[in-house]
Structure 1
């Protein structure tokens, strides 16, 4: 007996906010229950983290913390009575195609697949996703895709306790980058927006949905840190940006797009270095200064 399976794949060329019949209001609590996670909230966006703490990835002798470069996430934003989503899932080489297939079958676009790091001890890929529809159905598709990976479940709530300070001069790093970072998973993190806006169709893509510059410092001792992240740049800014990074000893790992139909067309330049943390912060600002970064 033959069974015919009809695959309904979302057209990759369509706008993220193409007109869709409403199927109920956005319900964040329902999505919370599907993911068994609590989101971070900002700019009307609900962002769920899926860190790959199960992976043991080493670059240049540094064991990578999930908050440095292995932090998958999906952000939901209410849109036209439904939800728009964007995200970046961390997958291994063997997980990539099963995860992609499940997402496509569920009507979620896969807009990019790439690496973040060079010389990693095992191949790790980052799959950008986007979609628009009923929030619970989108969440169920993402959960089904993640079930094909070894992404750990959300940790149980632990009693709050004082954490040891990072072995970094956070004050000088903040001064160099013109803003204050935050500690997450043993990593000092920055999200620095551009001064202009990125939009897909009639939806502005806020920083919390992936349009910001992301800079992470992982302390390695004696004031040093491994840095990773990505800087958002227009096509006209990419050459000066990458030149500034290389002139200051920061490695360019990949240059790519996250979205399919954004305006203006935006490229994301991933970087890596391991050196004195303050020195690297000064160098990163010299590179950011070649772009239209927010200077608030």
Structure 2
């Protein structure tokens, strides 16, 4: 089943949202915290015409049909707003600048909205020989491709990231479309990530230098949300959909790390972030968009560095301060949010 294209769109060329029946209202009435969230979200009915609608709270059971199409991968964030699944490319022996054992992952994030639509945002990590098959698969299933680019400098095997989006009243159709994109690659089945703290890294010192608490998931990861509300067409986009600043530290021994990740920025923030990174010895990889119709317009700057982990963390913190960041987002961290 292809995504519903009948819903009017305000500005973008991007796609998908959910079935009212499949994701019925799911708040637990006895939970005051969830009730407060529902009040906030369902307040959209009183919002000014044309204002973006907020996602609604759901329960894990609401996403079971989606999970079944995605090999049981995924979990619902603690706030009930975003169901997110990641698909690490453990099949690849990925290396860059002499650092091996790198892990990159595709992801799919789903959110439900009051009008019964579901939005899918995500990306698919593809080798150069897989990329055109992925493009054909997601296009055949009605998903929109919003960006195609690289996240790393020289690396083997050569990888590409294609960002996708869809909106439909049938969330299962979105999951089927995502599955088709993944099936066009050699992405392996589910496997538990490495959650051991990276040997040779002083994670407490990195936390202190960066001003946040990381999580060990195939490296030592951080994710930060922006402070302002972000929307795409007529829908508010929660941070866990992939609109975060994210870093991963991988130990290379003796207190040093290979660091990759990306910053999410508005146009006025870009140049100061670039200058700060370069002043701190961090390489700039790519500057691009991940979306076609986001508001505010966002730009993503991917980075790479090898050096003393704490020193790199200090530079990243200084660059963070040049952007309108809110708080660290533990849900994005714990769902293994590889560089979005």
Same fold (TM over 0.5): yes
Q: 2:213 matched to which residue of 1?
A: 180
Out of 196, 199, 211, the residue aligned to residue 243 of structure 2 is: 211
Q: 1:126 matched to which residue of 2?
A: 161
Separation (CA, whole Å) in 2 of partners of 1:73 and 1:248: 30
Separation (CA, whole Å) in 1 of partners of 2:119 and 2:12: 16
Q: Secondary structure at the match of 2:326?
A: coil
The answer on whether the counterparts of 1:235 and 1:267 sit within 8 Å (CA) in structure 2 is yes
* Structure-2 change in CA distance of 1:165 and 1:263 (3 Å): closer
Separation (CA, whole Å) in 1 of partners of 2:290 and 2:154: 22
Offset of residue 232 of structure 1: 0.5
Count, aligned residues: 281
* Structure-2 change in CA distance of 1:165 and 1:147 (3 Å): closer
Q: 2:307 matched to which residue of 1?
A: 275
Separation (CA, whole Å) in 2 of partners of 1:111 and 1:37: 26
The answer on whether the counterparts of 2:198 and 2:251 sit within 8 Å (CA) in structure 1 is no
Q: 1:93 matched to which residue of 2?
A: 128
Out of 232, 241, 252, the residue aligned to residue 220 of structure 1 is: 252
The answer on whether the counterparts of 2:196 and 2:216 sit within 8 Å (CA) in structure 1 is no
Q: Secondary structure at the match of 1:193?
A: strand
* Aligned pairs for 1:145-156 within 5 A: 145-155=181-191
Offset of residue 170 of structure 1: 1.1
Separation (CA, whole Å) in 2 of partners of 1:22 and 1:8: 10
- Structure 1 residue 256 corresponds to structure 2 residue 293: no
Q: What is the aligned-residue RMSD (CA, Å)? A: 2.5
Q: 2:76 matched to which residue of 1?
A: 41
Structure 2 segments unaligned to the other structure (5+ residues): 24-61, 329-340
The answer on whether the counterparts of 1:8 and 1:105 sit within 8 Å (CA) in structure 2 is no
Separation (CA, whole Å) in 1 of partners of 2:262 and 2:190: 25
Q: 2:203 matched to which residue of 1?
A: 170
Offset of residue 14 of structure 1: 2.9
Separation (CA, whole Å) in 2 of partners of 1:257 and 1:162: 31
Q: Secondary structure at the match of 1:110?
A: strand
Q: Secondary structure at the match of 2:136?
A: helix
Q: 1:140 matched to which residue of 2?
A: 176
The TM-score with structure 2 as length reference comes to 0.77
Offset of residue 151 of structure 1: 0.2
Separation (CA, whole Å) in 1 of partners of 2:133 and 2:97: 30
* Aligned pairs for 1:8-47 within 5 A: 13-14=12-13, 16=15, 22=19, 24-26=21-23, 27-42=62-77, 43=79, 44-47=81-84
Q: Secondary structure at the match of 1:294?
A: strand
The answer on whether the counterparts of 1:51 and 1:72 sit within 8 Å (CA) in structure 2 is yes
Q: Secondary structure at the match of 1:103?
A: helix
C-alpha offsets along residues 176-215 of structure 1, whole Å, 9 cap, x if unaligned? 2211010102x00001111222111232211110111111
* Aligned pairs for 1:228-267 within 5 A: 228-267=260-299
Q: 2:91 matched to which residue of 1?
A: 54
The answer on whether the counterparts of 2:246 and 2:263 sit within 8 Å (CA) in structure 1 is yes
The answer on whether the counterparts of 1:233 and 1:266 sit within 8 Å (CA) in structure 2 is yes
C-alpha offsets along residues 5-56 of structure 1, whole Å, 9 cap, x if unaligned? xx99979943547xx7956323400111111123132241010011111111
* Structure-2 change in CA distance of 1:178 and 1:110 (3 Å): same
Offset of residue 219 of structure 1: 0.9
The answer on whether the counterparts of 2:69 and 2:176 sit within 8 Å (CA) in structure 1 is yes
Q: 2:35 matched to which residue of 1?
A: none
The TM-score with structure 1 as length reference comes to 0.88
